[in-house]
Structures are given as C-alpha cells and as structure tokens.
Structure 1
Amino acid sequence: MNSYVFLHPNDRSANHMMGEVQISLGHPEKALEYFEKVTEPFWQLYGKTKAVYAIGNKQEADKLLKKLIADWGDVAWPNIAVFFAFRGEKDEAFKWLELAFDNRDASLLEILNYPSMKNLWGDPRWNTFINKLGLPKDHGFHMD
C-alpha cells in the first residue's frame, strides 16, 4: 500500500487507509499527515477527527466531531458510531448504531468488524444489537 501511495499521492482511498493503519500502529501524528491528503471532505474530516483525538487533543477533536455530526450526521450513522466506539463512549456509539439500523444503512455490517468496535464488547448491548440484526447463527461477529 505504501508504494501505491507513493505512486498515487492524491488517491483518497489509499491515503485514508494509510491513515487508519497509522492510527492502529499508534502513530496518530503520521496518520494526520495522511488524512490531510484525503481530498474527499467527509473522509478527510472523519480521519482528522480520529487522529486529533488519538494525539490527545480532546478539545479540538470535540470541535471536529461536532462539525462531522453537523455536516454528515444525517447519513454517516455507522461511521459516527465507530468514532464514538474508538473514544470508548459506549452510550453514544450504541445510539448511532441504532440510527444506522433504523435507517437500514448497508455499511453497518462492515463497520461491526472494525477494530474500534472491540471497545463495545462486554457491554450487554453488544449481543442484543448483534441478535437484533436477524443474521444466521454462523454470522461470524463477536459475541460475548
């Protein structure tokens, strides 16, 4: 992926993915550099919000999160749930998961596998939510 970003420095998907990788490796400053290169407004703001929070600037992250919700809160329910799970804010994460479910957001099944969602494991609402999806028993999602 890194050589792809080198060859295609303006690719939205590659820069966003590299930013996510840097977050997972514990390098939020490097992640922010990648997210700054993302040209699609939603994904840039989403990534920057995560990186700024991971850097430890909660006040700036809160400001970015408010903008994310104001600009995209009517369509980005699962992504906002991921961000709240990332922050460990379970009540808000489950609120946004429910909004994604109520709005039949197709990306909901994808985001349930994101690493940030592990922060919701152990909460009794997790199993309840997964069961609510009505999936086959061998769905593969974590169950407590």
Structure 2
Amino acid sequence: MTHTKAPDVFHRFQSGTVQVRHALDRARNDVRAAKVDSVTCDTSQIILGEVLNNVVEHAYGFEEGHPIEMSIWLRDDGLWCEILDHGGPMPDGVAPAGRRAQFVPENRDDLPEGGFGWAMVRELTQDLNYRRANDTNELVFLIPHTQPWPGTGGT
C-alpha cells in the first residue's frame, strides 16, 4: 500500500507492556470514534496487540524505552496498519509463516508456549508485508472490514 495521506490514527510511544496497553486503548478509542464496526475494531485490538507485544518481546527483548510507531489508515477495504520499530530484525528477514502449533488437545501438560500468535495474525489480515530498511522494521497489513465502513470514502 502506498500512503497518499497522513494516517487517520497515529501513535508514537515507547516499548514496554504498559505502554503497549495504553497505545492499544488509544487506538481502540480512535477507531471506535470513526464508526468502524465493532467486529473489525475488536479484531484490530487482537492483531495490533499481538504484533506490538511481539515488538516488545522479540525486537526489543523486553527492554523499555525504545520507539514504536503505529499508523492506521481507515480505508474502504479495511484498516491499513503500519508498525515501525528500531529493534532487532525478524529471523531470516521475513515475518513468521504463522503455522499453527501442533499439539494434542487432550494433553494439556504438553501445550506449546508459542505458535499461536502469528497464525492468528496471518489468518485475520491480508497483504501482510515486512521489510527492514535503515535499521527499521516495517510491518504493513490490512485488517479487512467485516461490514461496510460508513466512512466518507477512506480510499
């Protein structure tokens, strides 16, 4: 996606679990105020929460105080999101494939710790692209609307 206008929602904040929670709360309020349907709004919270918490955990290794930028464009096809950070790159320079973790549901003692988040991100988004340029991670994706957006031509 090429950005022809400033984002409709923009938040710059520092890494940290509390800071991510506050940024997610502000983004939810902004998206709701734009009259985005509740399912798309809820989905955006799940996806953005997963992505931003991965930035804190993996890109910054739980170190607080590093910059993160979250931009959201309200478009006719959904919420175009861009997350920027200056942490470590994704392994092999690509976003995880998002394969579901393999486990036997009846054996709860052997549940894997990870493997669910990126599968969910991949399933609930479209056009997910990752690139690293000039020590910056850029993740862009579309969260499609579940209902037509009553916006004023967000394209």
Instruction: Considering Cα pairs closer than 8 Å and 6+ residues apart, tell me whether 1 or 2 has the greater RCO.
Output: 2
In terms of fraction of residues, the more strand-rich structure is 2
| TM-score (norm: length of structure 2) | 0.26
In terms of fraction of residues, the more helix-rich structure is 1
